[in-house]
Structure 1
């Protein structure tokens, strides 16, 4: 039997467009999507129509939930919040553990969130580069195996997209996958083997970043 695991990075974020947002933000490490990011998320949703995706999992950060919600609306699916897909909790980027909206607050904003789902993998601040890859790789394997043979979508961040892909196909993903904003990775399971079919596709986007940033 076969299975497809899609892994998408969130769309463009407000603090990339307006760096001053960070100075006065209530949750400065949890920015929302920018206006063009909302357009990107809708384009991702349009791309994934007809791909027979059965489950959507998203990091609990606002930008990933917003991105996943566009896809969930297009596919008429729920969203399962999975901490294992979280941003790299890098102390060089974040001076303290990032504050996020609670699950209940997110569910009020995004009713498609499945409040009955329990996250499978934890993410603990602070994290090394090795730890985020280990954590996100473990998450991808766990969800692929638990929900096999259903096709699933993981909506994550630059480092956790790469780590998730590495968790399935191994070290080859380190050099092959390019996790730009709202890009799409496709990994196919054939019997016991994982094949990397898309390595960070952005052909569905009308607006793309010129320099890939992994934060």
Structure 2
């Protein structure tokens, strides 16, 4: 029996929908820090501004990793802040993602990006915070999981020169690095960014202001310049989304009709103890109050 035009049309549409690759950006915060439970740690730690995860923080990271490993389409890139707690969290995810790969080409490596690093809102000693990847013990011990060829957008001297980072500087940094991340991953934008509370919140808000994949489909410099003017004139307002940033939570966006749409905000259902250690900017507290 010959298929009708309607049947053929429906099958074609369904096949097309099945093969269209969803493009998502996932933001995850690191797990519980050791100095949150050991109040004497900062006084004795070799690098007091760069604590490791606690024992439970590592468990949270493993629980996050197990959840992320089940995500489809599969995560294709991991970006991580080059701090010990974020590297430890990202390594748990990378190990789980790579557990059952059949070839070296399928291995997902971590791109260490200082642009996703912590927010410097106080006069910390930056020399005790930031280290190049060559000096990161966790990275050197897991070299197979680290992308050695990745050239970071933000360099170490940004932090060494910045005594206190304003919130606008934080926003500018995150928008710049997220745009670069999107530009370098146009074909497979299913990306996990492992970061800290403040960069997670402002990074998610930055992504919400990017309304199309940068420069994709544009044929000449005039079109690119027109798009930049549109972004400047119409899309400069910051998206003040009430992003939740519990430890090892996931917040993610999907590209829908050329706009990054928030699908999950602070997901933590996969964690054995649920959402914990939520942090917000004090100035943003009114955003999180329930509407009447």
CA contact (8 A) 2:83 2:129 kept: no
CA contact (8 A) 1:5 1:144 kept: no
CA contact (8 A) 1:57 1:155 kept: yes
Aligned to 2:86: 64
How high is the TM-score relative to the length of structure 2?
Answer: 0.68
CA-based RMSD of the aligned residues comes to 2.0
CA contact (8 A) 1:141 1:167 kept: no
SS at match of 2:39: coil
How high is the TM-score relative to the length of structure 1?
Answer: 0.90
Residue 238 of structure 2 corresponds to residue 199 of structure 1: no
How many residues are treated as equivalent by the alignment?
213
The 2-side partners of 1:213 and 1:145 are apart by 30
**How far is the alpha carbon of 1:149 from its aligned partner?**
3.0
Aligned to 1:109: 141
Aligned to 2:193: 154
If asked which structure has higher relative contact order (CA below 8 Å, sep 6+), I would say 1
The structure with the largest strand share of the pair is: 1
The 2-side partners of 1:9 and 1:38 are apart by 13
**How far is the alpha carbon of 1:113 from its aligned partner?**
1.2
Unaligned runs of 5+ in 1: none
The 2-side partners of 1:165 and 1:16 are apart by 25
Residue 110 of structure 2 corresponds to residue 79 of structure 1: yes
Higher Cα radius of gyration: 2
SS at match of 2:57: helix
Q: Which runs of 4+ in 1 moved over 6 A?
A: none
Aligned to 1:36: 56
The 1-side partners of 2:165 and 2:267 are apart by 28
Unaligned runs of 5+ in 2: 1-20, 99-107, 210-237, 282-292
The match for 1:11 among 15, 25, 31 is 31
**How far is the alpha carbon of 1:80 from its aligned partner?**
0.6
